[in-house]
Every structure is written in structure tokens, then in C-alpha cells.
Amino acid sequence: MTVLSGRSRLVTLHLASRRVPVAVAVLLTCALVLRIALHRTWDAYGALQLPLFFETGCAVVIAATTASPFGEPERATGRWLPLLRLGTVLALTAIAVGALTALTTGAHLAGGSLGVLRNTVGSTGIGLLCAVAFGGSLAWTGPTAYLVAGVYALYTQWHGPALTTPVLWPARPSSDVKAAVCAGLVFVAGAVLVMVRGSRDSLTRA
């Protein structure tokens, strides 16, 4: 077996251990359902809130893939593991953003592609931080709680006083630099921590 095929085999096995093929299928399904949903005319709330649900759905799926079924034996292996963790997260995030953007092209997507990118990346970051803190299979709690806050923040845009803090980035226009920076920082922090430490696996089995 050549070095290249050995590495590709390692990547394949790592992705399989994290149920990445299933995750990709769920991400594509999310994007497809959003596309179908956008065929309908939504009221002001629905139009803005709808993409956020699917972006968060993608984020929790990505965060769930961080759970390792092997635990400590895997942690005690060589230098590739952090890179595999990071690569998986980045690849899945790219797939999620790409699928959401591509499949909604031509539809009236509130916030546009930039909004999709910011919200997906930010929620994924929260999910990754939760994965490090609570384990991959409980990582959904953070993005879900943030979704509740985000949906409320969007609601306040009509029923004031409007929440304008960049920390609640879903309620900010997609051109808001501060909101984008907040989401980006959370993602970077989550990705780095997952890369270095992996998701917590002592309490749960994936």
C-alpha cells in the first residue's frame, strides 16, 4: 500500500467512525427541505426564521460527528488525529454552507448566502464548544438553545425593542461586520478546541 493510499484509507476510516456519510446525507437533506420550503410564500417572521432552523440543523449534525466511538485508545495514537478532527469539521461545514447556498440559489433566501455562511459557521462553533464541554452526542444543546434566542431576537425586529447586539448574530443584517466577527470567532475557538482536545467522551457513548 502506498503512503497516499494509506492516508486516504485513514481518512476514509476516520470519516466512517464519525458517521460522516450519514451526516452528509442529513446536511444535503436539510438543504433540500429548505429549498422546497422556500417555494412557499412565508410571512415576515417565517421568511427570516426558516433558514436559521436549517442552518442550526446543519450545525448540530456537524457537532454530533465529533463524538468518537473509540475513546482513549484513539487519543493515544499519533499526530494525524487532530488534523483529521479539524479536517472533518471544516469539510462538513463547507458542505453544509455550500449545499444550503447552492440549493437555495434563485429562491428568496432571507439574509442571502452571507447570512447562511455566518449563521451556519457561528452555530457550528457553538456546537463544537459544547462537544468539547459535554460530549459530541450532547453537543446539540448549545446550538439549540442559541436557536431559541436567535428566533426571539429576530422576533424583536418587528416587536421592539429590537435586540441589536452582535452576539445574537442571526438578528443582524448579513452585512454586519461585528456579528460576522463574533460568529467567526466562536467557530475558530470551537474548531481549535475540537482539533486539540476532541469531544468529551468519558460520559457518553456515541
Chain residues binding another protein by CB under 8 A are 19, 22-23, 26, 42-43, 45-46, 49-50, 53, 56-57, 60-61, 63-65, 67, 136-141, 144-145, 147-149, 151-152, 159-160, 202-206
Choose between 42 and 90: whose C-beta lies nearer to another protein. Answer: 42
The answer to whether the CB of 148 falls within 8 A of the CB of 168 is no
Least CB distance from residue 146 to another protein, whole Å?
Answer: 10
User: And the C-alpha cell for 158?
Assistant: 418587528
Choose between 42 and 112: whose C-beta lies nearer to another protein. Answer: 42
Choose between 162 and 185: whose C-beta lies nearer to another protein. Answer: 162
Least CB distance from residue 137 to another protein, whole Å?
Answer: 5
Least CB distance from residue 162 to another protein, whole Å?
Answer: 12
Choose between 50 and 81: whose C-beta lies nearer to another protein. Answer: 50
Task: Give 53's contacts (C-beta < 8 A, 6+ positions apart).
Answer: 147
The answer to whether the CB of 137 falls within 8 A of the CB of 69 is no
Least CB distance from residue 63 to another protein, whole Å?
Answer: 7
Choose between 61 and 109: whose C-beta lies nearer to another protein. Answer: 61
Least CB distance from residue 54 to another protein, whole Å?
Answer: 8
Choose between 7 and 205: whose C-beta lies nearer to another protein. Answer: 205
The answer to whether the CB of 143 falls within 8 A of the CB of 187 is no
Least CB distance from residue 175 to another protein, whole Å?
Answer: 25
